[in-house]
Structure formats: C-alpha cells, structure tokens
C-alpha cells in the first residue's frame, strides 16, 4: 500500500490509561504527556479543550484538573484533517524523502505556506501535490507538516513531516535549538562591510516593530534570540578595500527575520535586504562593475540556508544535508571573487 493510501485509511485513535497512587494530584495534561509521549503538550491541550478527554466517563476539558488514583482516562485523537489548500504541481528540489519526512531545497521567492496575499503557489500547495495526503496534520489545514519556515526570499534547506509522530519529534528538536547537539542549522550570508570581531555572537531580543508591522526589531522585552557568526571571506570594491563579507551564521534560536535583524544590529545588513538594509543602497556604487551587475539581478536578500542536520525520528540516526548557493548567489559570489 502506498503511503498516500495508508494515510487515507488512517482512522481516529483512542488511548486509555488508569491512574495510580504515584499520579495522585498530578495535572491531567502532565499525566497525559507521560502516557502519550508521541503527542506534543500543545496537541494534548487542544484535545482537552476540544472535549476529546474523558475521566471516568465524563468530559474533562481543564488541563489543570488533578487526577486521583484509580481513575480511567480516555483520549480520542481524531484522524488528521485533510489539508484545505489545493494541490499545485510546482517543481520541487527534493534533497531527501522517505515515509516519515521530506527535505526540500527551497528556492527564493517561494512562500512556505498560504497566508494573507498568498493563498496559492506556496510550498504547501506543491507538497500536497507531491505527497498526497501523507502530511502531518499537526500544522493544521493551512500548514500541514510544516515544522519550521524560511522567509519567502531566503533560499535553502527545509524539512517537512509526513506524520504526527515525526512532526512532534522534529518540533522538539527545533524547540531545543540544538542544545543537545541533535539539530544543526547554518546559513551563508553576504553582508555589507566587515564584522568585527571575525567570529562572534549577537544576543539581542527580537519583537515586532511597533512602528512598522512588517518588520522585526531588537527591543527590550522581545523574545530571546542568539545568532553566532563567523567570517568566511572578504571581497574588495573598486578602491581595493573590503566592502562585502561572506559570513556563516548558526542559530541558537529561531526568530522571524533573526539573521537579518541581528546582522543589521551589528551594522552589517545583508546585501539586497530592502527591509533592513535600504540605507546601504548607496554602497552599490562602490562595487566593481561586474559585482554591480550581479547585485542588480539579485532582487532579494543574500541569504541561503545551506546546512540542516537533525536526529531522524524514524531511524534514530543523525542525518545532515548541505546545498551550496543557487544560481543567483553563485553569480554574485563569482563577481565578487573576480573583483
């Protein structure tokens, strides 16, 4: 049976457990988390609030309910709802695929999931066409299987879950941000100027910019955000002095626009970033003629997620994938090297 056919036959599931003395006084959501480890805390909470949990035959929707010894707890897990976005045959660069997950090398310009202004033509639409019904239902109807995202104009590696167990396991790794060594995410970025020191970290909280809702900003009280960077190469402009730097960035956290915001915070925004680096547009004239031509054809921030590694939930083995620059960034690199 194909994975698609198997997914269609997948029915709702039921879990039943009896509390013991050691569970006495425990919160219901905590008890369920120990009994059904394949489901995330957030999924269990939704089941509780949705009336899918019964204790001694009666519905209990309060996650803070304290269990008593000898109670019978039943949980109904509905079958994953089919994704609502339509299937669209959009070409995908599939790096790896098995029955649990799929790794995509996303091109710049492709939105990850439907949203305001992007109801179709997204990665999700392409995945539905490619994978059929075999996508995790945890992300909901609009984001089936989506564990993490890349900005529309950022290219690179992205993993998508095909079932709830895989989605839950990968989400835990992303939530841990690689502290246990299981997850690795590395990006390559071209930035204006030369960061100092050569290797460093930016530890600055990020929140939505109250003056411009489409932007993020470093703000007190924002979400904890840490980016580690290292200079890989420097490139000279017309006057022979360094004007552009290729840096590798590794994420300790995963906030919206994190690398773009943090490198701007350092005073070295990404080339082509019209949101955070518009003030550096005048520096283009300092590039060599060949580099200026490559830059003008870029039309996006010079950021590529080139490395992704994680513990495969199905095999328990560490897997690691790398993809070098797409054509537009490779042309920019070649033009800078020849300067």
Active site (annotated) includes residue 273: no
180-189 pLDDT per residue, tens = 678 999 999 9
Fold of 94-176: Pseudouridine synthase (3.30.2350)
Q: What is the pLDDT of residue 82?
A: 52
Catalytic residue among 100, 151, 153, 328: 151
pLDDT in tens, 87-118: 899 999 999 999 999 999 999 999 998 776 67
Q: In the chain, which segments carry CATH 3.30.2350.10?
A: 94-176, 185-337
* Cα–Cα distance measured from residue 38 to residue 32, given in angstroms and rounded to the nearest whole number: 11
pTM of the model: 0.75
Give the CATH class of 3-77. alpha beta
Nearest to 161 by CA among 124, 133, 136: 136
Residue ranges of the chain assigned to CATH 3.10.290.10: 3-77
**pLDDT category of residue 119 using cuts at 50, 70 and 90:** confident
User: 65-79, 192-206, 288-302, 316-330: which has the minimum mean pLDDT?
Assistant: 65-79
CATH 3.40.50.970 fits 185-337, yes or no: no
Q: What percent of the chain has pLDDT over 90?
A: 65
Q: pLDDT tens, 17-61? A: 899 988 888 999 889 988 888 787 778 888 888 889 999 999 998
- Inter-helix orientation angle 327-337/289-296, to 10°: 170
């Amino acid at each position: 049976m194909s994975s698609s056919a198997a997914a269609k036959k997948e029915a709702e599931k039921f879990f039943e457990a009896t509390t013991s003395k050691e569970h006495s006084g425990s919160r219901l959501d905590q008890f369920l988390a120990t009994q059904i480890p394949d489901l995330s805390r957030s999924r269990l909470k939704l089941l509780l609030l949705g009336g899918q949990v019964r204790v001694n035959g009666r519905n209990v929707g309060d996650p803070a309910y304290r269990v008593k010894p000898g109670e019978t707890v039943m949980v109904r897990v509905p079958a994953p709802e089919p994704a609502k976005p339509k299937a669209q045959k959009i070409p995908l660069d599939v790096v790896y695929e098995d029955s649990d997950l799929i790794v995509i090398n996303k091109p710049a310009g492709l939105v990850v999931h439907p949203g305001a202004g992007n109801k179709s033509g997204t990665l999700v639409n392409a995945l539905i066409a490619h994978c059929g019904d075999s996508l995790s239902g945890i992300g909901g109807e609009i984001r089936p299987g989506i564990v993490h995202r890349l900005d529309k104009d950022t290219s690179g590696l992205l993993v998508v879950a095909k079932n709830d167990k895989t989605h839950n396991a990968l989400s835990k790794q992303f939530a841990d941000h690689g502290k246990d060594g299981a997850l690795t995410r590395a990006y390559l970025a071209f930035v204006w100027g030369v960061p100092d020191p050569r290797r460093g970290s930016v530890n600055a909280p990020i929140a939505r910019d109250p003056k411009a809702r489409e932007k993020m900003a470093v703000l007190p009280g924002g979400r904890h955000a840490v980016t580690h960077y290292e200079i890989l190469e420097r490139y000279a402009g017309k006057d022979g002095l360094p004007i552009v730097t290729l840096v590798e960035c590794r994420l300790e956290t995963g906030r919206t626009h994190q690398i773009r915001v943090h490198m701007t915070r350092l005073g070295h925004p990404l080339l082509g970033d019209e949101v955070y680096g518009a003030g550096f547009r005048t520096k283009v004239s300092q590039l060599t003629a060949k580099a200026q031509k490559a830059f003008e054809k870029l039309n996006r921030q010079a950021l590529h997620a080139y490395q992704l590694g994680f513990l495969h939930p199905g095999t328990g083995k560490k897997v690691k994938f790398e993809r070098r620059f797409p054509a537009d960034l490779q042309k920019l690199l070649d033009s800078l090297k020849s300067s």
